Structure 1
Amino acid sequence: MATLYDDVSGSRYLSSSISSLSTSRQQSSQIAKAYRQAAQLFLTRRLPEALSTIEPIISPPPIDAADVVGHAPVATASRGTRVKVWSFYLTFLNAVVELGAEEGKHAFGSTRWKQLVSQCRDGSIWDHVVRDGYAGVEGDVDADVVVNLATLLLTHAPSQRLNQQKLETYLSATANPALDVSSHMSSPAYLDKRPGHRRQHTGTDTPRDLEKRIKLLELYTLHVLPRNDEWDYARDFIDMSEVLDQERKEAFLLALHSLKEEKEDTQAREEKLRQQQQEQMEERRRETEAKRLEQSRAQDERRIREEQNRRQPRGSDEPQPTPSQSSRTSRTPAKKPTTPPPGLYNRASTMFANIHTMISDTAHHMTSNPMAFFRTLLFLLAFGLAFGRRHLRERILRIIRSAWDKVRRTVGMGVKVSYI
């Protein structure tokens, strides 16, 4: 009976294993088929159809009593299939972000496009991959997938703080794997009961693992940490790394030094360019202000000229002085009146001599016609006053007084002769 029971139990176990293997192979075949179809749609730029094809295998089914864990179908696939599916999805997200807002919203709709883009910019895609593809165990994520995740966030995330934190968690988990039995039993590696399946080693057990580890260290020390200005920490991390040999350490340190110099040079050029732009803006501002002042001054002068033209009497031919001429005139000191040229004095002297002769000749006829003398005297007085110059008026008055003295003496002589 015991032998019969063992045979029956062994048959049942073998039948269950064969059934499980058949189901697993069927599911792997479906995952591979969906991956190939999505890749073909992606290559033909039919992005919405590619998304609807790949989503069912990277998203967990609805949680119910029969499936409490709710892992995505890709979680139970082989390592090679997992890497292909997740690498394709990350490449797909990168293409969606690069579509731009207008084309992306046209292809997926505004809400859906923003959801896809936000996964790359806020880093939530990392949590999605770990949760749905690896049962929430950071250390179980394939190194190739981690490289693609870090590269995606490095390209599109505005801040690299989350990327740095995720890489540090992964590097720590793979270097010192935690002995969490419950997490291990819920991981895809434990749930996959296929014969010959062994849990993936994510450290440096094989040359391929070592190569991926070095690639992760390169991303972490030469790209992520410099973006966060962690230059000293990156240098110390390279120096203390047990994975890198001395030759690689020197190469990493040299690359880090070159990156820092390049960033400093770039910052210096940007600062110089910013200063030049500020100087140019200041120069343009001064030129604009000078032009504005010149225009304002020209308008003021034009208004003043128009006001003076309105106040000037009609028929006046004398031009009104401009404000600039008025200001120059006000600043010019008053000049003394100039003396007439010598020719004018000669002519005036001749005229006065003739008048003096006429008065002298007239004086002899005073006794016979005194009214003619007084008319001549009044004419000379009017002429002198009209002439308008002080020194000429004084000279005329001297001539008149002299003539008057002669007339008086002549009259006196005439009286004496008459008396005699």
Structure 2
Amino acid sequence: MSFDGSYSATLSPAASETFGSHVLSNSITSLTSSSASRPSSSSISKTYRQASQLFLTRRLPEALSTVLPLITPSTESSNVNGLTEPAPVARASRSTRIKVWSLYLTILNAILELDADEGKDAFGSQEWRTICKKVRDGDIWEEVVQFGYHGVEGEVDSDVVINLATLLLAHAKSQTINQKRLENYLAASSTPNLDISKQLEATRSPRLASRHRKTHSKSGADTPRDLNARVKILELYTLHVLLRNNEWDYAREFISSSAVLDEERRDAFLQALQSLQDEQLESERKEREEKQRQEEKLQKDIEEARRLRAENEARERRRLNEERAKREGTEVDYGIENTPSTPKARNKARSGSNGSALSRSSKPSSPKEKKVVARPSLTARAAMILSNLRNIIEQMSATFKANPILLMRLLAFIIGVIFMFGKRSIRERVRQILGTGWNKVKATAGMGVKVSYI
């Protein structure tokens, strides 16, 4: 006995008719509410076109706000189990879904390419930092999987995966999260099936056709277009992401053991990988050579500076020694004795000379012990004065060379004096002061003469 027959036997005809009408009305109500709550494909396409037009005109904030309702689940609507409704793009066709997600990721890429000041002015500081953090930390991948594909990693469309990997490759802080996400996707998606005979058999049988549709929706690589997208994903994974993480051996092993690549593509991938590795090694070698050349140049510059400093110091010492020798020679030539430099030494010398003079004066002098000291002639005195003036000038020049600020101050003082005496009022004031002072000096001198006369 079947389940339907036993169940209908226990019900009366009126009860059976009432139950059937009740179930039918509930089904129609649920279908009507579900269809009313879902946005139509035409509205999604219209919103997509509006967002595309805004993006093409570089109105990024308006484009982002237009496309966000398509990819963000509604928090108000919920299904029978109390779960949140998925985003409207999750129920769209495959082509529309790919277009919407690709546009969203393209808008995010354009936003992150803006300058910091321009992005903050367009979106605000908080929203700008949130968008940048979501992309650079890799959270955008989880957002796409949860909102657009019911949280199933393997159901993400291959074109969307390519755009996600490219976005993270350009703006992510580290490619570790990109590598992990690509590995999860490649592990979750099944191996592509390009057997045409099985596809024809699946189209003849409804049961096989439904099973084929389920497998096709899971793998997403049963057509040549999907296979090309899978090859593109492998190219991004092996020739870009793994190389950013410095995993050259693993990339070569993955390419060699991949079942998706044929012999021709595998050889092309391995050749590209080898050329990229050679380029990296060459660039590293050039960087090392450039760094070594800069270090050698810096060392040469340091040695040259030391040599020049040593030559300057030796030249300065030679000049000082020559000046000292000239000064000592002139002092010996004109009979100038070297007097002690310190005041105490000069006092001792004076006291010693005074004591010796007193002792000599106390002793009876004899004509034999007297020494006749010849007074220097007028020419010697003039030569001595000129020598002293020259020494003073040389010392002043040495002082000015050692401290040029003194020369600048002296020049500023002279210029200030000249400028000050250039004014007539100041000259009159100075002449008046000098006249008053001279009158006082003459009065004092006259009084001194009178007193001395008295």
TM-score when normalising by structure 1: 0.62
Which residue identity does 2:267 align to in structure 1? Answer: E
Correspondence list, 1:316-355, <5 A: none
User: Equivalent residue for 2:274?
Assistant: 257
User: Equivalent residue for 1:355?
Assistant: none
User: Equivalent residue for 1:107?
Assistant: 122
**Structure 1 residue 46: Cα displacement:** 1.6
Query: What CA distance in whole angstroms lies between the structure 2 residues aligned with 1:210 and 1:123?
Result: 26
User: Equivalent residue for 1:194?
Assistant: none
User: Equivalent residue for 2:201?
Assistant: none
Which residue identity does 1:169 align to in structure 2? Answer: N
Query: What CA distance in whole angstroms lies between the structure 1 residues aligned with 2:252 and 2:125?
Result: 43
Q: Is the 8 A contact 1:74 1:85 kept in 2?
A: yes
1:13 to 27, 49, 52: 27
User: Equivalent residue for 1:159?
Assistant: 174
User: Equivalent residue for 2:109?
Assistant: 94
Q: Is the 8 A contact 2:78 2:85 kept in 1?
A: no
**Structure 1 residue 147: Cα displacement:** 0.6
**Structure 1 residue 126: Cα displacement:** 1.1
User: Equivalent residue for 1:295?
Assistant: 312
Structure 1 residues 56 and 289: alpha-carbon distance in aligned structure 2, compared to 1, 3 A threshold: farther
User: Equivalent residue for 1:118?
Assistant: 133
User: Equivalent residue for 1:281?
Assistant: 298
Query: What CA distance in whole angstroms lies between the structure 2 residues aligned with 1:36 and 1:309?
Result: 97
Which residue identity does 2:47 align to in structure 1? Answer: A
Query: What CA distance in whole angstroms lies between the structure 2 residues aligned with 1:164 and 1:51?
Result: 27
Structure 1 residues 21 and 290: alpha-carbon distance in aligned structure 2, compared to 1, 3 A threshold: same
TM-score when normalising by structure 2: 0.58
The unaligned stretches of length 5 or more in structure 2 are 1-13, 193-212, 335-454
Query: What CA distance in whole angstroms lies between the structure 1 residues aligned with 2:28 and 2:74?
Result: 28
User: Equivalent residue for 1:369?
Assistant: none
Q: Secondary structure at the match of 2:219?
A: coil
Runs of 4 or more above 6 Å deviation: 63-66, 314-317
My pick for the range that moved more, 249-258 or 106-115, is 106-115
The answer to whether the aligner puts 1:54 opposite 2:54 as a matched pair is no
Which residue identity does 2:251 align to in structure 1? Answer: A
Which residue identity does 2:252 align to in structure 1? Answer: R
1:130 to 138, 145, 158: 145
User: Equivalent residue for 2:263?
Assistant: 246
Structure 1 residues 10 and 282: alpha-carbon distance in aligned structure 2, compared to 1, 3 A threshold: same
Query: What CA distance in whole angstroms lies between the structure 2 residues aligned with 1:101 and 1:305?
Result: 66
Query: What CA distance in whole angstroms lies between the structure 2 residues aligned with 1:34 and 1:300?
Result: 87
**Higher RCO, 1 vs 2 (CA within 8 Å, ≥6 residues apart):** 1
Query: What CA distance in whole angstroms lies between the structure 2 residues aligned with 1:259 and 1:236?
Result: 16
Q: Deviations over 1:55-76 (max 9, x none)?
A: 2332333468776325333233
Q: Deviations over 1:322-373 (max 9, x none)?
A: xxxxxxxxxxxxxxxxxxxxxxxxxxxxxxxxxxxxxxxxxxxxxxxxxxxx
The unaligned stretches of length 5 or more in structure 1 are 178-197, 318-420
Which residue identity does 1:211 align to in structure 2? Answer: N
The answer to whether the aligner puts 1:24 opposite 2:41 as a matched pair is no
Q: Deviations over 1:119-154 (max 9, x none)?
A: 232212112211222232211211111111111111
Query: What CA distance in whole angstroms lies between the structure 2 residues aligned with 1:302 and 1:3?
Result: 128
Query: What CA distance in whole angstroms lies between the structure 2 residues aligned with 1:48 and 1:298?
Result: 71
The percent identity for this pair of structures is 50
**Structure 1 residue 271: Cα displacement:** 1.5
1:38 to 51, 74, 78: 51
Query: What CA distance in whole angstroms lies between the structure 2 residues aligned with 1:306 and 1:54?
Result: 88
Query: What CA distance in whole angstroms lies between the structure 2 residues aligned with 1:33 and 1:240?
Result: 45
User: Equivalent residue for 2:222?
Assistant: 205
Q: Between Structure 1 and Structure 2, whose CA radius of gyration is higher?
A: 1
User: Equivalent residue for 1:391?
Assistant: none
The answer to whether the aligner puts 1:173 opposite 2:188 as a matched pair is yes
Q: Secondary structure at the match of 1:175?
A: coil
Aligned residues: 296
My pick for the range that moved more, 16-25 or 236-245, is 16-25
Which residue identity does 1:78 align to in structure 2? Answer: S
CA RMSD of aligned residues (A): 3.0
Structure 1 residues 309 and 261: alpha-carbon distance in aligned structure 2, compared to 1, 3 A threshold: same
Q: Is the 8 A contact 2:146 2:152 kept in 1?
A: yes
